[in-house]
Amino acid sequence: MKTKLKALLFDVDGTLADTERDGHRIAFNAAFDEYGIGWHWDADLYGKLLAVTGGKERMQFYAAEFLHNENLPDSFEQLVPELHAAKTRHYTELLSTGAIPLRPGIERLLNEARNENLRLAIATTTTPDNVTALLENTLGSASPGWFDVIAAGDIVPAKKPASDIYDYALNEMKLAPDECLAFEDSHNGILASMGAGIPTIITVNGYTRDHDFNEALLVLDALGEPDQPFTALQGKTNNHTYVDCALLKLLHSQ
């Protein structure tokens, strides 16, 4: 017999909100300006840099793959954590202005899941402060407490596509992967969630629309709302037009 659906695990960047192009990227550039290092990541270049998750790792990837580690700022390796701390400060300041809204259907689904006693968790590569800032500025100051575990950033040594962050969240919640569903937006994300054995629903965004989501339970353009139906790109939607707990339970039981 199939196990009961007990928990929903959410990625943050690209899934809860479109944070990358107009959030993280802007904050990286502000940090680069603050330190006068002459780097600027435009929206296209940033899409390529998303191949690597984690802000510190992304800066190192850029230096190695795009600059061939030439003409780097002095003491670059030591500077990376400092630049990253500045970037986090710029990012959380930006979020505090309400610059980045949640994606359609996120708030509705979180509320519905809480009413139905489904447990919630976060599994992300981003810095914990960034998660709290997004949740508090969009859902109110109590909202981080809605999640049993906020698994984020350097809490595990290997970031996505490694499954470590999902393994960590499952372990903290004492749940088996087949008691959960994960929500992701990227190829690295689904490698991590499916690597932990969790069936995964994808909502794509501008940066991830063409990624390989072969293994996904469902691929959508968004979770949708009653008056704003999703478009299904892959998988069976059973005549539903937006993602609610009834659809999730049905998908989980199949």
Give catalytic residues, as residue numbers.
11, 13
18 sits near Mg ion (criterion: CB under 5 A): no
Contact region for ligand XBP (CB under 6 A) — 35-43, 121-129, 133-141, 193-201?
121-129
Among residues 5, 13, 179, 219, the one that binds Mg ion under rule CB under 5 A? 13
244 sits near Mg ion (criterion: CB under 5 A): no
Dist. CA 238–CA 240, nearest whole Å: 6
Handedness of CA 165, 110, 209, 24 (dihedral sign): negative
Residues 178-197 close enough to bind Mg ion by CB under 5 A: 185-186, 189
Nearest residue relative to ligand XBP (C-beta): 55
Whichever of 83 and 173 has its CB closer to ligand XBP, that residue is 83
Dist. CA 116–CA 113, nearest whole Å: 5
Among residues 103, 119, 160, 211, the one that binds ligand XBP under rule CB under 6 A? 160
Contact region for ligand XBP (CB under 6 A) — 13-21, 71-79, 208-216, 235-243?
13-21
18 binds, among Mg ion, ligand XBP, none (CB under 5 to 8 A by kind): none
Q: How far is the CB of 144 from Mg ion (least distance, A)?
A: 18
Among residues 125, 203, 208, 237, the one that binds ligand XBP under rule CB under 6 A? 125
Q: How many CB atoms lie within 10 A of CB 78?
A: 9
137 sits near ligand XBP (criterion: CB under 6 A): no
Q: How far is the CB of 12 from ligand XBP (least distance, A)?
A: 6
**35, 86 Cβ separation under 8 angstroms:** yes
Q: Per-residue contact track with ligand XBP, 72 to 111, x per CB under 6 A?
A: ---------------xx-----------------------
Binding residues (CB under 6 A) for ligand XBP: these are 11-14, 20, 24, 53-55, 87-88, 124-127, 130, 160, 186, 188-189
